[in-house]
Amino acid sequence: MNRSRSKSFSLDRLVKVGILASISYLLMFVQMPIPIAPPFMKIDLADVPALIGGFAMGSWYGVLIQLIKNVLNLSKTMTGGVGELSNFVVGSTFVLVSSLIYQNKKTRKNSILALVLGIFAMSAIATLSNAFVVFPIYGKVMNMDLQAFAEMIPGNGLVSNYFTLMLFSIAPFNLIKGAIEAIITQLIYKRISPILKF
């Protein structure tokens, strides 16, 4: 009897993970460019379902949602999988840090703290991984010099070279994206969480 209940329990969660991952994948196509970032970097809300899943079911469920979303997006990749790998690492950092902190104490105040710390962790990982891994690999794939990335955003007067690109474009882009997703998660989580909890 207990084994049967455990199986249905796990299956129920996997179904919910699948639904949230599908919503997350679809949200990747609703994008908004911002002038401080290169044109191929756009703000979307695809981390929100993973954050909600991580908060409601546990951090590793949130990471699983991120993984499924990016595997689905491989069929439409224009970066040879580099963008998807970066998205997975950065998004999983956001979800993992936020949900681990929230799971420790499930209060509104702690959820805000969790999301704020998640934003900073995500932004740090995003900046470092983009600077030393993603942009260099993408540059080689596209046969682009790293300085060319800085020249893609003439509207951002603070960016003049690769270093300032990371400091004044990539870092603030991720802070802004994370803040928007955190606010939306905070606004809708309590309404959706009863459906996901057991």
Give a yes or no: residue 146 inside a domain: yes
Residue 26 inside a domain? The answer is yes
Going by C-beta distance under 8 Å and a sequence separation of 6 or more, which residues neighbour residue 53? 16, 17, 20, 61, 62, 65, 196
pLDDT of residue 52: 95
Residue 5 within any structural domain of the chain: no
Give a yes or no: residue 6 inside a domain.
no
Q: Nearest Cα to 175, choosing from 102, 125, 112? A: 125
Which two three-digit tokens encode residue 92?
């999983």
The pLDDT of residue 186 is: 95
Residue 121 maps to a domain: yes
Q: Total structural domains in the chain?
A: 1
> From its phi and psi, is residue 81 left (phi > 0), alpha (psi between -120 and 50) or beta?
left
Within-domain flag for 1: no
Within a domain: 98: yes
The answer as to whether 3 is a domain residue is: no
CATH of the domain at 46: 1.10.1760.20
| pLDDT of the residue at 9 | 54
Which residue segment(s) compose the domain that 152 sits in? 11-196
For the chain (198 residues), the mean pLDDT of every run of 10, in chain order, is: 50 90 94 88 94 93 95 80 87 96 93 96 95 88 85 81 92 96 94 77
